[in-house]
């Protein structure tokens, strides 16, 4: 495994783990019976998405060819996940998939976005370590 593909493999592994966990959760009703499970899934989605974004922007050779600075890694990871997280929350709202009543919707959405961004911060830390070895 080269340094150029390490981040991609981490991202694919995190995405596969997320997919399997989601399938198990749907089958066993974890989203409705385990109060913290949705938070875990948003964190893992932020982690997988952040690593995928960092690989696409820096390791794939498609966008940037230079070695990124720390602030670039953080901004790319956070902004990509924020856009995807807001789009997901909008999708949930439009199609009535929020799973909470209107009085708790704002706090649930803010917690979901916070967990997405925390996952993205961890992805930035991993990405910084992997990309700096290139």
The domain locations on the chain are: 3-132
Please, what is the average pLDDT of the chain? Answer: 90
Q: Tens digits of per-residue pLDDT, 102-119?
A: 778 889 899 999 999 999
**What φ, ψ does residue 10 adopt, rounded to 5°?**
-60, -45
Integer Cα distance of 132 and 114 in angstroms = 27
Band of the pLDDT at 64, cuts 50, 70, 90? confident
Give alpha helix (H) positions in the chain.
3-28, 30-33, 37-54, 70-94, 102-132
Cα(53)–Cα(115) distance, integer angstroms: 17
pTM above 0.75, yes or no: yes
């Amino acid at each position: 495994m080269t340094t150029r593909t390490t981040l991609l493999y981490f991202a694919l592994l995190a995405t596969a783990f997320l997919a399997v966990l989601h399938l198990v959760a749907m089958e066993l009703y974890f989203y409705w019976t385990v109060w913290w499970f949705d938070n875990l899934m948003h964190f893992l989605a932020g982690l997988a998405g952040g690593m995928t974004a960092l690989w696409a922007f820096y390791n794939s050779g498609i966008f940037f060819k230079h070695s990124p600075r720390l602030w670039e890694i953080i901004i790319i990871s956070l902004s990509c996940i924020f856009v995807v997280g807001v789009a997901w929350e909008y999708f949930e709202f439009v199609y009535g998939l929020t799973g909470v009543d209107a009085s708790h919707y704002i706090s649930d959405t803010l917690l979901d976005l916070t967990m997405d961004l925390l996952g993205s911060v961890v992805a930035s830390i991993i990405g910084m370590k992997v990309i700096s070895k290139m």
